[in-house]
Structure 1
Amino acid sequence: MAKWTVRAIQVGSIDLDRSAMTHYKGKGERITVPIWCAGATDGVHKVIVDTGIRDLEEYKKAEPGVSQTPAQITTAAIKRIMGWDPEEVEIVINTHLHCDHSGSNKEFKNAKFFVQKKEWEAAFNPLVPEAPFYDKLCYDKSAVNYFQWNFLEGDTEILPGLRVITTPGHTRGHQSAMFDTKDGVVCVSGDICNVAENVNGNLEPNIVVMVPETYESFQRIRQFAHYILPGHEPAIEDGSEKFIPVL
């Protein structure tokens, strides 16, 4: 079975208080964190995990500290790191449908989209603390043709060496992508882990709608993955194939 290559793709930055990532730890310390997508290939298939921001000014309403350079616009960033045009991408996995993870879905006209059915339903009926982060224009019928969607109900193998596992907590239908690489299993975690300290230090991320499930999701990642690309980890370099060890 061919091994996957996974690369980090930066599609923006957010200036914020560190405690927003680590359950109040580091309060008063300002940090700048990236917004990560991932590109992955087994030498045949072209896969993207998460698609970044739809509209910078709109996202500032939820995250005032967000910024994005022209090179970090999702399509430009994927071309820069992976060498792919949007129409070449075959599969898009949305870890969840918050607007910094699904914002550029509309650019991938030929892709099949994979999301948990529970997440799709939650995105159209958000809870109060998560509502500012759901933007229907990222994932409604104006963005993605209904027949491009594949609605999952639990852990699923997408391709050999590529699976998604359910990791609820940050959102009700959150999932993480697991890739079998030459170095071991890489988890592209989305925001169940904003930073590696969440899983390695057992610290909740900034938004949690299901507390017990969050810690169960950390345990699942520790059980399966050797390395992690969290949704906003600052210790990873743009374009890197080197991620944070899961302890």
Structure 2
Amino acid sequence: MAELVYPPVIGVARTMFKALDLRFDIKGTENIPKRGGAVLVSNHIGYLDFVFCGLTARPAKRLVRFMAKESVFRHKVAGPLMRAMKHIPVDRAAGMDAYKHALRALRSGEIIGVFPEATISESFTLKNFKSGAARLAQESGVPLLPMALWGTQRLWTKGHKRDLGRNHFPITVRVGAPMEADPTEPSDTLTERLRTRVQELLEAAQRAYPVRPKNAEDTWWVPAHLGGTAPAPAQAAGRGHH
């Protein structure tokens, strides 16, 4: 079936990024398979993360189908677009439907995008991973593709006004080598290995990030353990909203 909506949406996103004069530093796109299924797994620090994750698959001429919470699909503008791009709605109360939908897509050779932390991390550090991504890869016999984003929180994230001005924000992305998902390995063990790998990629992206906060007010996007004023993980968890 022809992809009538997804490519033009990517075109619009690219135009927007040009207008915002974002500076991209993306490494590891050669790890995205040119064909066959895979589960792309990323940290989650901003509302636009899925767009940046999707960009990493463009050199391989692939489109990523993201698992996203069902409320996005109810939005009058985003909803029809999400459906037309074949993203997968996740109803937290009945997650099995989304799981089966993703499994079918993987078996038919699609790349599925998953944020295993489930919600945006307000501390900008890695939260615990849900095991769904690992289980999907194991059950469908496809590799896991770990990746990490950094800088996207400065554009638009939870609890902060979006900043879509021409700020020349750098966006750093690192895609790791595919990880085999051995079906005999306990999914929790695989999930922990996956999380460790994403953590390594996140630290690599943070080290490569070319800017430091300009002043004391600008430290909100830097995690506490790196000297910033983002809430520490325990504090962020205590806020208790989704």
Quickly name the TM-score band, shorter chain normalised: 0.3 to 0.5
TM-score when normalising by structure 1: 0.32
The structure with the largest alpha-carbon Rg is 2
Larger relative helix fraction: 2
TM-score when normalising by structure 2: 0.32
Larger relative strand fraction: 1
- Could you say which structure has the greater relative contact order, defined with CA pairs below 8 angstroms and 6 or more residues apart? 2
